[in-house]
Structures are given as C-alpha cells and as structure tokens.
C-alpha cells in the first residue's frame, strides 16, 4: 500500500478514509483545473482573470511534492486548484462542482469569433447572448464536473469481490485507495478527450488573441441546468468508488463540439486581428497630450500594436477605430491593391465615421464576406495604406510598380513617389513578392514588418502560418539583417519604435516643416525627446508674433508691465528650442525682420509719447 496513507496521521480507519476522500476531491479538482486553465500569457487577453499562472502550471518540477504522492499522480503545480478548494471550510459531504465556462471577452462587441466557435457546440450560446448590452454575461458553461461523496447509501458489507475476500478494514481502505487511483487515472485521460480540451489547447498553443477565454469556476451556489440545457449536454459518469460508508462519485456534463479542428480556428483568425491591430489608439494621447490626434490616423498604429496585448487598454481607451485596424492578410492586401475593383470600393475615411458606427460597419462587412480573403479587411487596409503614404517616410522599392501605385493611391494627393523611387529595386517579380513590395511601399518598412506579422497570424491555419519560412521570404526582400520574425517585433518595439511613431505624430500634426526635426534626430532618439520636441514645436508661436513681442518688450524694459518681459523669455526660449524648425529661415532674415519691427516700434513709440501716456505701449 502506498506510504502516503500511512502518513495520514490518524489511527482510526475512518479518519484515513476521510482523508482519502478529501484528497480525492482535491486531486480531482486539480486535474480538472489544470487542464482547463489556459496559461496566463501575454497573448491571452484578460490575464487578470486567469486562475493559473503560466510559470507554475507549465513547468513541472522534478521534485516530488507531498501532494503528488496522493494517488501516485504527480501533477503540475496549479495554485488555483488549492485556492478554489477551500480546505478549511469544505466538508467532504458537500458536492464539489466545477463549471468550465467559455467567456467572450467583454470588449469583443463583435461576436464573430465566438460564434464561429460556439456554433460548433451542440447547444449553442446561452440565452445571455441576446443581451448584447450586457457583454459580461456572454458566457456559456461547456462542462460541469461534479465530485461528490455519497454517504446516503451505506453499504456496510461491501459487495465487491475484493472486499469480500479481505475482511479487515485496512484492506478495504487499500481497495478503496486503489480504485480511487484508477478513477483519477481515467479522469486524467478523460479531461483531455472532452471537447473543452481542444479549446484549452488552442488557447495555449497558438499565439493568437482570442475573443473568448476558458474559465473554470468553483461556484459556491450551483445553478441547476434547465431541462433544455441538460438535454443539450452529454453526460459521463465514472463508476463510483465504494468506500467504507459511502461512494465517491464523479461525473461530467459536457457539450459536444463537432469537428472543432477544421472549423473553428480558420474563420476566427481575422476576427482576432481586428482587435489585434486596431483597437489601441489611446496611448499616444497619453504620451503627447498636446497633440490633437485624429483617431484612425494610421501612423499611430505602430504604437498601439504593442499595447494591444494588455488588458487595461480595453477598459481605458475609447475603441479607436476598428475600421483602420482590420489587418488583411498579405495576399488580401495585395489583391486589393492590384485589383482595382476592390480598391475603388474604399469606405469613407475612418475619421469621418463615428467610432461606434465604424465598428458596426466593420462587423457587418466581416460577416458578409468570407473571412480568409475578406475584401472588407483589404479595403480598410488600403485606406490605411493610403493615408499612411501621405505622412510616413515610406520607401518605395519598386519603380516598376509605380503605375499600380498610382492607381491605388490616387485618392492621396501627397504621395511622393519620386522621393523614394531610388531606394531599392525589387529583385523578384513573383506575385507574392510584388505584393510584399507594394506593401513595403504603402506601409514603410517598419509597418510592413508589422503587417507581415499580422498576415502570418491571420492565416487560416495558424500553426503553419507561424513558420518562419513565410516570414523569411519577405525578409529576403529587405536585405536587412535586423528584420525579425513578425512576433519578435514586440520586443524591439520597446527600444526601436521611438523614432518612428514620433515622426508620424508630428506629421499628423504639423504638415510641412516636421520633416526636418524627424530627420535631424538620430534614429535611436528617445520617446521623451521626440515628445518634448513635438510639444515645443506645438507651443512655439509663429515667428512673426514672437519677434513683435520681443520687440515690444525690448523697447519697454523701463515700463512697469511685466507681461511683455515674460513673453520675451518664452519667445526666446521657443525660438532657440524650435531653432531646428526655424533654421531654414536664416538668422539674418530674422534679424532683419526684427530691425524693421524695431523701427516701426520706435515710430509708434515716439508717436504715442507725443500723443498720450505710456500706457499705450502695452496695447501695441
């Protein structure tokens, strides 16, 4: 017999039995939770609701913990299992219920992903689905595990053969323990066979963001299923284990999921991407409060994507614009760009549409078209691409594509083809490659990097699409050593992105002169520096005004009024600070202007001195 039993610390058989029962509850719960709690990963949306931490559940230590010895089953550490199982409070007579709930993420207002998944469930979504306003209720119990100790039917003289054979209660205990061990073995296999495990696996294995999550719950009050719900579910009851004075029962009610493998991952991917790129637009606002940012302004995207992983963004930020977010697959974009019918169907610019409406609009479109090559996504992308070419420093690698580019970019008047045309010739002329080149053109290198990443993840079969080979093919295009795998971008964003978004922002704000600041700053300049510069430029009054103020103050140093003096300081500061921007206007010019003003001022002053009191000077 296992040594663990001997360590139970109690002499009486019933106490031992009780402990076995208790440990059986704990182990069952552990097995269920461990296989239903997706690892807390940065890729999972709502990390705060995850019960298990990835670090603990994914790593299996080699040492044997005392609890592992129970039923000879060493499980991965899952603290949630023990937390939910309130050791002190729970009596073994109380049934233990674990609901495995599929929860749609609260921010997933469009429910495409969920539907795609859920329609595979025999039962469909719960009635809560109708309450679109109450998104937190978008959840469905897909499994209910019930572990209970049934001591109503006391079977004193055990009926089993083995019990008959051995009369001593100790051997009865042994038999009970063995059977419980066997039951837990099959539970362990069972949890992996049920449909929910496929979801669990999907949530864990792929790098995608899902609009739903799997949450195991141990409710204190169990709402019984309606008859209809119960009819929709299948039931599996493990054969109860006879104990000294009762039975250990374990059963599961579960929804069947027909053929998850081929259906659910494919159509969902584009949905995820929607949020993935599009949603976060607020952080730049925090960074540069002085900037009037236009939502849906594409240059901001590089900022957001990194943050789109984080949960708080969804609470904090107004949903910026789904319309500019949908990230089409690479080929989609390419198709949209090359084939004019698509690009002609440009929707109104994101900025023109109120956010909410835009969202709806996109959802509708998504539903209308088959996701993998959804024209809607491509169209939005085109919009974005075009807008971006207006402002972003893009590289045009392929002069040979100019004709196409011109067609595509027709709506954008500010396109500067000539500036970039000299950059890189495209080496290959394959369709995909040219798509890449186009994309490079439209998005600029950095953005292309992102979009290629997006494309990879939105591919119909995620696992395959993550393969590096696909990204490598684009990498070859670039001749860049530092071109990382799409998902490596996350990390180097932190250090690298500073220069880019900064310049984008400036562009969005100050149309013309900003090229110079962005150019004059070293590539590795810090966010702060860029931000400071931007705000300085923003605050800086026009040159003429500055000079006049300065002029006045210089000439009124003797007067009591302090305001002009302050103005002078500010102006001087701003002049020096924005020197870069003003550099084009030479100092000589400025001085000359200044001199002329001086003269004007002198004339005015002399006039006012003659006519009225010196008060007038303040008004000039």
Partner 1 sequence: MNCEVCQLKELEVESFEIREVLRCILHTIVFHRALGLIRPKDIDLELFEITYVQCGEIEVEKKIDEKIEQYISWIEKHPNKKNQICVSFYEVKSKQPSWFTNKIERSYWEQWYINLNVLQPSKSPIGKSHHAKLVMDPGEASEERNSRRTQLEQSLQEVLFQIIKFVNEKKDHVPPINDGVIYCPFEITTPSSSDSTFGMDMIKRMLHSGHPSMLG
Using the contact rule CB under 8 A, the part of the chain among 257-265, 286-294, 312-320, 540-548 near partner 1 is 257-265
Listed in sequence order, the residues at least 6 apart from 603 whose beta carbon sits closer than 8 Å to its beta carbon are none
Q: How far is the CB of 1 from partner 1 (least distance, A)?
A: 7
Q: How far is the CB of 99 from partner 1 (least distance, A)?
A: 22
Residue 464 interacting with partner 1 (CB under 8 A): no
Residues 543-562 close enough to bind partner 1 by CB under 8 A: none
Q: How far is the CB of 196 from partner 1 (least distance, A)?
A: 12
Rg (alpha carbons) of the chain, rounded to whole number: 34
3-state secondary structure 292-334: CCCCCCHHHHHHHHHHCCCCHHHHHCCCCCHHHCCCCCHHHHH
Q: How far is the CB of 217 from partner 1 (least distance, A)?
A: 23
Tell me how far apart the alpha carbons of residues 126 and 149 are, in angstroms, rounded to a whole number.
30
Binding characters for partner 1, 582-601, by CB under 8 A (x = yes): --------------------
Q: How far is the CB of 239 from partner 1 (least distance, A)?
A: 4
- The single residue among 41, 54, 58, 74 that binds partner 1, judged by CB under 8 A, is 74
Size of the site for partner 1 (CB under 8 A): 38
- The single residue among 86, 94, 131, 259 that binds partner 1, judged by CB under 8 A, is 259
Q: How far is the CB of 469 from partner 1 (least distance, A)?
A: 19
Tell me how far apart the alpha carbons of residues 238 and 187 are, in angstroms, rounded to a whole number.
8
Q: How far is the CB of 191 from partner 1 (least distance, A)?
A: 10
- The single residue among 46, 53, 56, 69 that binds partner 1, judged by CB under 8 A, is 69
**Cβ distance to partner 1 smaller for residue 197 or 448:** 197
Tell me how far apart the alpha carbons of residues 27 and 553 are, in angstroms, rounded to a whole number.
82
Tell me how far apart the alpha carbons of residues 612 and 294 are, in angstroms, rounded to a whole number.
49
**Cβ distance to partner 1 smaller for residue 242 or 390:** 242
**Cβ distance to partner 1 smaller for residue 102 or 322:** 102
Tell me how far apart the alpha carbons of residues 371 and 535 are, in angstroms, rounded to a whole number.
42
Tell me how far apart the alpha carbons of residues 111 and 318 are, in angstroms, rounded to a whole number.
19
Are the C-beta atoms of 395 and 444 separated by less than 8 Å?
yes
Which residues are 148's β-sheet partners?
A: 249
Residues 174-203 close enough to bind partner 1 by CB under 8 A: 174-175, 177-179, 181-183, 185-186, 188-190, 192-193, 197-198, 201
Closest CA to 29 of 145, 165, 140: 145
- The single residue among 60, 170, 429, 586 that binds partner 1, judged by CB under 8 A, is 60
* Cβ-based burial of 496 (10 A; exposed 0-12, middle 13-18, buried ≥19): middle
Q: How far is the CB of 59 from partner 1 (least distance, A)?
A: 12
- The single residue among 260, 277, 342, 552 that binds partner 1, judged by CB under 8 A, is 260
Phi-psi region of 479 (alpha: psi -120 to 50; beta: other; left: phi over 0): left
- The single residue among 13, 41, 46, 68 that binds partner 1, judged by CB under 8 A, is 68
Binding characters for partner 1, 105-144, by CB under 8 A (x = yes): ----------------------------------------
Q: How far is the CB of 197 from partner 1 (least distance, A)?
A: 6
**The pair of three-digit structure tokens given for residue 470, joined into one six-digit string:** 């696909």
Q: How far is the CB of 71 from partner 1 (least distance, A)?
A: 9
Query: What's the chain's length in residues?
Result: 620
Q: How far is the CB of 140 from partner 1 (least distance, A)?
A: 21
**Cβ distance to partner 1 smaller for residue 71 or 401:** 71
Listed in sequence order, the residues at least 6 apart from 230 whose beta carbon sits closer than 8 Å to its beta carbon are 253
**Cβ distance to partner 1 smaller for residue 17 or 183:** 183
3-state secondary structure 570-590: HHHHHHHHCHHHHCCCCHHHH
Using the contact rule CB under 8 A, the part of the chain among 256-264, 313-321, 488-496, 573-581 near partner 1 is 256-264
CA angle 88, 91, 95 (to 5 degrees): 125
Q: How far is the CB of 188 from partner 1 (least distance, A)?
A: 6
Q: How far is the CB of 30 from partner 1 (least distance, A)?
A: 12
Are the C-beta atoms of 196 and 143 separated by less than 8 Å?
yes
**Cβ distance to partner 1 smaller for residue 122 or 310:** 122
Tell me how far apart the alpha carbons of residues 127 and 258 are, in angstroms, rounded to a whole number.
21
**Cβ distance to partner 1 smaller for residue 167 or 596:** 167
- The single residue among 48, 152, 168, 262 that binds partner 1, judged by CB under 8 A, is 262
Tell me how far apart the alpha carbons of residues 438 and 209 are, in angstroms, rounded to a whole number.
27
Tell me how far apart the alpha carbons of residues 246 and 110 are, in angstroms, rounded to a whole number.
49
Closest CA to 83 of 187, 215, 173, 218: 218
CA angle 351, 355, 359 (to 5 degrees): 115
Are the C-beta atoms of 420 and 396 separated by less than 8 Å?
yes
Residues 232-251 close enough to bind partner 1 by CB under 8 A: 238-239
Binding site for partner 1 (CB under 8 A): 1-3, 60, 64, 68-69, 72-75, 160-162, 174-175, 177-179, 181-183, 185-186, 188-190, 192-193, 197-198, 201, 238-239, 259-262
């Amino acid at each position: 017999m296992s040594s663990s039993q001997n360590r139970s610390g109690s002499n009486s058989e019933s106490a031992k039995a009780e402990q076995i029962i208790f440990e059986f509850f704990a182990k069952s719960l552990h097995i269920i939770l461990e296989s239903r709690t997706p690892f807390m990963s940065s890729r999972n949306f709502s990390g705060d609701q995850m019960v298990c931490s990835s670090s603990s559940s994914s790593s299996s230590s080699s040492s044997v913990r005392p609890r592992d010895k129970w039923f000879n089953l060493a499980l991965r550490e899952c603290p949630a299992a023990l937390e939910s199982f309130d050791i002190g409070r729970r009596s073994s007579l109380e049934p233990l219920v674990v609901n495995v709930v599929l929860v749609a993420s609260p921010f997933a207002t469009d429910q495409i992903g969920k539907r795609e998944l859920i329609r595979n469930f025999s039962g469909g979504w719960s009635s809560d689905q109708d309450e679109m306003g109450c998104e937190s209720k978008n959840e469905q119990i897909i499994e209910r595990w019930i572990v209970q100790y049934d001591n109503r039917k006391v079977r004193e003289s055990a009926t089993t053969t083995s019990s008959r054979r051995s009369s001593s209660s100790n051997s009865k205990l042994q038999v009970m323990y063995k059977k419980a061990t066997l039951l837990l073995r099959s539970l362990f296999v069972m949890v992996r066979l049920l449909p929910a495990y496929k979801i669990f696996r999907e949530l864990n294995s792929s790098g995608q963001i899902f609009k739903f999550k799997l949450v195991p719950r141990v409710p204190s009050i169990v709402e019984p299923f309606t008859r209809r719900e119960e009819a929709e579910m299948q039931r599996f009851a493990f054969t109860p284990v006879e104990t000294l004075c009762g039975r250990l029962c374990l059963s599961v009610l579960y929804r069947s999921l027909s053929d998850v493998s081929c259906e659910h991952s494919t159509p969902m991917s584009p949905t995820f991407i929607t949020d993935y790129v599009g949603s976060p637009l607020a952080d730049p606002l925090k960074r540069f409060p002085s900037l009037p940012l236009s939502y849906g302004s594409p240059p901001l995207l590089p900022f957001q994507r990194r943050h789109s992983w984080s949960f708080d963004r969804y609470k904090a930020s107004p949903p910026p614009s789904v319309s500019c977010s949908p990230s089409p697959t690479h080929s989609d974009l390419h198709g949209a760009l090359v084939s004019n019918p698509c690009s002609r169907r440009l929707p109104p610019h994101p900025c023109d549409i109120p956010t909410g409406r835009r969202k709806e609009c996109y959802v509708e479109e998504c539903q209308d078209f088959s996701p993998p090559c959804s024209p809607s996504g491509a169209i939005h992308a085109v919009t974005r691409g075009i807008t971006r070419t207006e402002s972003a420093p893009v590289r045009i690698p392929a002069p040979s594509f100019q004709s196409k580019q011109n067609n595509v970019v027709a709506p954008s008047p500010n396109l500067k083809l000539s500036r970039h045309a000299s950059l890189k010739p495209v080496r290959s002329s394959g369709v995909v490659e040219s798509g890449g080149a186009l994309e490079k053109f439209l998005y600029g290198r950095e953005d292309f990097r992102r979009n290629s990443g997006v494309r990879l993840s939105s591919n119909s079969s995620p696992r395959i699409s993550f393969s590096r080979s696909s990204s490598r093919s684009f990498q070859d295009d670039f001749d860049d050593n530092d071109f990382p795998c799409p998902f490596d971008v996350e990390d180097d964003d932190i250090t690298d992105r500073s220069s880019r978004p900064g310049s984008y922002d400036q562009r969005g704000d100050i149309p013309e002169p900003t090229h110079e600041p962005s150019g004059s700053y070293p590539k590795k300049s810090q966010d702060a520096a860029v931000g400071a510069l931007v705000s300085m430029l923003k605050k800086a009054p026009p040159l003429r005004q500055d000079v006049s103020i300065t002029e006045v103050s210089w000439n009124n140093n003797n007067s009591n009024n302090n305001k002009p003096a302050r103005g002078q300081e500010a102006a001087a500061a701003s002049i020096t600070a924005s020197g870069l921007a003003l550099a084009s206007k030479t100092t000589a010019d400025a001085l000359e202007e200044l001199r002329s003003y001086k003269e004007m001022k002198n004339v005015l002053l002399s006039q006012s001195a003659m006519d009225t009191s010196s008060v007038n000077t303040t008004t000039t």
